[in-house]
Amino acid sequence: MILSIVVILLIAVVAYYHYLQGLFSATLSAIVAVLAALLAIGWHEALTDALLGGKFADQAWGITLVAIFAIAYLALRVALDMLVPGNVRLPLLMDKIGAPVMGVIAGIAATGVLTIAAQTLPFGRSVAGHARFPQREPYDIVIKPNPQAYQMVDRRVVGIDGQKFHDNDASKLSIPVDDMMLGLAKLVSGESGSLECGRPLAAIHPDYLREMSGQRLGIETGAKHTMLRDQLASAQALRIDPQVKAEDPEKEWARKKEGYELKLNREPGQMLMGVRASIDLNATDDDKLVRLSCGAVRLVLAGRDYFPIGTLDATGKLHLQAPDDPLFANPDNPKRTAIVDFVFVVEGDAFGAPGARALKMPPGSFIEIKRLARKDLSNQTLTDPSPSQALAGLIRRSDKPPTAGGDGPKPPVGPGPSAAGKFAFKRFDKGGVFGKIGTDIADPNGTVSLTAGSLLLKGGQVQKIRLEPKLTRAQLERGSNPATTLYIPPGKQLVWVTLTPAADAGWDWAGNLGVFELTTGDGKKHAPWGIRVIVDDPDTGKVIFVYDDAEQAARIDPATGRAVTVSLIFMVAADAFVDSIGYSGQVLHAIKQPAK
């Protein structure tokens, strides 16, 4: 409401000023204002990228829009005033009626640019009281994305109507100056338009204002609202099974407060597809998390904007998400990337033959995350997602709710049914001694190649090792000059936690070793730096062994057979106190021992 009133007042002021100037001057001003507005809308993105190169990314588009408009208007107006230094007399009635009309046109152009610029800034869901999409009743909620992160408290969450967002059922200004100027820009930049240059505005921004509205959803005002181009490392189009299992993870939590439930709905002729996005560590906020929402991600396909309806987890299940549900990607791992699978409902005719097995993305398709990070998807073949590779780095609002003081479900204390059913604590050990591996070399500083893999020695100690399950422990011990100890960097200590997997535990955990967490007395969570797994038999089974003193162990490849012993290696400070070992957010065992 406030923004609409401001727009009306500004147009009235501009119209009155032009009324005083006369029709001829007002006409020149209106023409110049419209041209300046079209230049600002058409060029602000390219100039921002070329001149600022990512600086002031959250505010850059808004600043550049206004700057281009102001400079273009002043330059053209001064040039015309120099060419035509005097005014032109016209009949009085024509002058007095025509001048304010031209003033209204100039005012629409100027306020159109200003309102578009305001909607590119990192405000909340509304800008000066104007919400592009209807809002729901506010409610209190506390969000804590992970134990290491600061607690994000949004005491007055105002949800939007997600269905209206996806349907683009927008609420416009009383005088929709922003829609009017964007509509004109699309017209003149389109095919056979007067400013056509090969790629129309609609090909990049099918719905600019919905895009800007989406990028303000689900992200705190003080957090980063943009990602730079190189922070989206890769993107791959995915084929999603139409029978995918889907659920709303917040059905019994936030949705109850918001008064609705998400469901997977598809109209005839629509299909599911996904995009796997790999997000770089440099995109994080200060707490090493990338803040996302489905509103801040868009897929441009066949000249239309599509926004995700949810994300896949590591098992391939679809978690339905509202456009303003907060998502947190955690790329703080050895690969420095977080993988997120976004799922979209799209029109099947965009692919020509939606029933074909090998579908290709049409030319001009791309994925965009947080405005500036884009990857071209043109001509990519849709591939089936591989759940074991992905997605443990994505934290949903409902995954790790606060332990106290919040309105979400409380995490279980102790092992709980899912954790206890997967793994049982067996033993806690300290130091680098692991047994024996024959090296058959006299050099204490060299690389040793084995049938099962390789290891790197430093002063006779194992600095790096990667063994596939090809040899048993007895076979590994054969040979001269055995290595028996892992290298430990100065000031650090290694602790080992050995677990016994349940018979039906499977290998789901192998794709993301970060599900195992060692908690120290200072409250810090530690991911494994190494792992040793015995397959099939505790005494005669083959061995998987991974350790690297320079980086954490992110994953191992599942083996044929059953893991019977899993020994996790954690690196902590030498003076640390080990509190507990956890699996998938649940405490497995309270250790309560010093690390050394």
pLDDT digits (tens, 9 = 90+) for 231-279: 999 999 999 988 899 988 777 666 766 667 788 888 888 899 999 999 9
Pairing mode of beta strands 304-306, 297-301 = antiparallel
Taking the domains of the chain in order of start, what are their residue ranges?
A: 1-121+171-206, 152-168+218-396, 416-594
pLDDT digits (tens, 9 = 90+) for 344-386: 999 988 887 655 567 889 999 999 999 999 999 999 999 988 7
Pick from 309, 303, 292, 310: nearest CA to 369: 292
pLDDT digits (tens, 9 = 90+) for 400-449: 433 333 344 333 333 333 444 688 899 999 998 888 888 888 788 888 88
pTM: 0.64
Residue 120: its pLDDT value, please? 92
Distances from the Cα of 451 to the Cα of 455, 469, 475, 546, angstroms: 11, 10, 10, 15
Region class of 316: left (phi > 0), else alpha (psi between -120 and 50), else beta: left
Pairing mode of beta strands 366-369, 373-376 = antiparallel
Residue 401: its pLDDT value, please? 39
pLDDT digits (tens, 9 = 90+) for 54-81: 778 888 999 999 999 999 999 999 998 8
Q: Which residues lie closer than 8 Å to 267 by C-beta, 6 or more apart?
A: none
Degrees, nearest 5: CA angle 159-168-294? 50
Distance CA 344, CA 293 (A): 14
